[in-house]
Chain A
Amino acid sequence: MNKIRKRYVPFMKAGVQSLIIYRMNFLGFIIGGLIYCFVMFYLWRAVFDSNGGGMFLGFSMTDMVIYLFLSNTTSQLTFSSVSNDIGEEIKDGSIAMRLLKPVNTDLSYLFNELGGVLLKLVIFVIPMILGLEIYRYCVTGTIMFNAINFLLYVLSAILAYIISFRINLCFGFIAFYVKNLWGIGILKNSIIGFLSGSLIPLAFMPEVLRLCLEYMPFASMSYTPVMIYMGKYGAYEILFRLGIQVVWAVLLYGLSKLIWLGAIKKLCVQGG
């Protein structure tokens, strides 16, 4: 463990370092997400208003606000750009330098990103949750914060990140075959955006579709942690959902390893 820490923490440092140097990038990412949240907020408010206020499919407007902001925040937290990174490295051939280091490729990518994830948790997610709780207090007049749900949310979000990371790794390795990942990346992001429920809560979807999507790995990426935080699941269901997340994490781990083994033989380093 100590060995892993010593060897891979530098990757994390390097990741954070470049975030700090290119901080406008990072900031833009967060602000862009917030703007998007507000757009969604007004959209949904119109939906609720036209519905005469009150409950809509089991969601109150307050629930909806929490859901929108938190699911967006969570998807930003669990967002993994590793497929882009791999794509870039393949495009310019710098993947060669990574392969020349005696480190595990997966782990080096993971730690590269982990620093950013922690940073997002501290400067974005926690303030956001604080803000949402204050909002909820102002609207309902009671403190609804539940520490256990919060901790379960963090646990579920970690699993969500692992799943997101592995999915992106699988996508990234496709770059070994197609050389340039940009188009596929856009496709991937819109698929994930829809299937993960960060655009429309899965609870609003038709029963059959919802059931299918809830078992897919995409739902685990933001829907599950948010629903847990909001207390929409009972104790038994929380365990069940976490179980699904673990199963997906393991399956995707295997899949990414498998793709990697095939991809490495296909590798062609471009340029130089």
Chain B
Amino acid sequence: MIYAEHLRKEFKKIVKEPGLKGSFKALFKPKKEIVVAAQDISFHVPKGDILGFIGPNGAGKSTVIKMLTGILTPTSGECRINGKIPQNDRKKYVKEIGVVFGQRTQLWWDLPLQETYLVLKEIYEVDDAKFKKRMAFLNEVLELEKFIKSPVRTLSLGQRMRADIAASMLHSPKVLFLDEPTIGLDVVVKDNIRQAIMKINKEEQTTVILTTHDISDIELLCDRIVMIDKGKNVYDGSLHELRENFGQTRELVFEADDDSGLTEEQFRKSLKLGKEDLVIERDKNNFKVRFNSAKIPVGDMLSHTLSVTKVKDISVKDSDIEEIIRNLYRQGEVSDE
């Protein structure tokens, strides 16, 4: 469905030295510098998948999305979506895709929202029956009725974003590109938007590429993630695999009845674990035991804990995906230096 092969994008940038003097210098003798926004990015997405496309700020996510949607021409490399090269026949190609850039709007700023949809209906040549059905569906999931008659410029961010998402889905696109669709939104609106994405993906096998900084978006929506950093692929695989490979840390949280002399050394000794495989954080009677589940199965850990102390409340937490990603980003920084 979506193939990206060794995408690379360079920009020329004029470097300006600081201060007025620097400005003058840049005016008469501009020093140009080539900025590589995407170095070498490859991945592919099968039909009907939701791909989480993540990476720290400035990793080149938006640049890649812009190349995939045909706005930017790659310096080298190739992308193919639906068997089409986006840059070759822009008009035909964009008819098959839906795009949301969280920081921009595709709605007509001065028109009432409803009009925008009518305009889009004509532009994308959606027939009346389909349009009606579609609007009913979008209304239901995204709750547009309340503000559908207001001009777009008067909408709140949450309303606007919902409206934008609806606009991108109106023509039943085969591929949906969502660049930070949940940026700056509250929990309820986020949930609305996730529902819409999920439904449309399930019902129409829409392929979705989603960039986000919100980890729960990824946990809830994505089958797979591609992580990039500094314009290069860092990770490509399922969320499950990411956990397996990078996050075998589990957390055992409990409140002990009494302080029966629980210490890190004791735990390590009796379970035969090294320093890096088990850490205990303690706040009065509340314990947090972080351990490597590859070395000791969760069950053994539990039974051991229960055997050494009486507990009031106990739970095991999966490793936090956010933590893993944070580690991966950091690794990138370290290897860079």
Contacts and interface: CB of A to CB of B under 8 A. Distances in A.
B75 to A, nearest CB: 10
B92 interface: yes
Task: Please tell me the size bucket of the interface on A.
Answer: 20 to 34
Contact of A272 (B73, B103, B122): B103
Contacts of B73: 264-265, 267
A96 B104 contact: yes
B106 A100 contact: yes
A25 to B, nearest CB: 12
Interface string B259-290: 00000000000000000000000000000000
Contacts of A101: 94, 106, 123
Contacts of B70: 99-100
A269 B110 contact: no
B106 A18 contact: no
A14 B99 contact: no
A94 B73 CA distance: 17
Nearest to B73: A265
A269 B119 contact: no
Contacts of B108: 14, 17
Contacts of A103: 91, 123
Contacts of A267: 71-73
- Among A14, A104, A271, the most chain B Cβ lie within 10 Å of the Cβ of A14
A93 interface: yes
Nearest to B99: A100
A18 B105 CA distance: 16
Given A10-B118, A100-B106, A272-B101, 19 more contacts: A10-B115, A10-B119, A13-B111, A14-B108, A17-B108, A21-B110, A93-B104, A94-B104, A99-B90, A100-B99, A101-B94, A101-B106, A102-B95, A102-B123, A102-B124, A104-B91, A268-B11, A268-B72, A271-B103
30 contacts: A7-B122, A7-B123, A10-B118, A11-B119, A14-B110, A17-B110, A17-B111, A21-B110, A96-B66, A96-B104, A97-B106, A99-B90, A99-B94, A100-B69, A100-B71, A101-B94, A101-B123, A102-B94, A102-B123, A103-B123, A265-B73, A268-B11, A269-B66, A269-B72, A271-B103, A272-B62, A272-B101, A272-B103, A272-B104, A272-B179
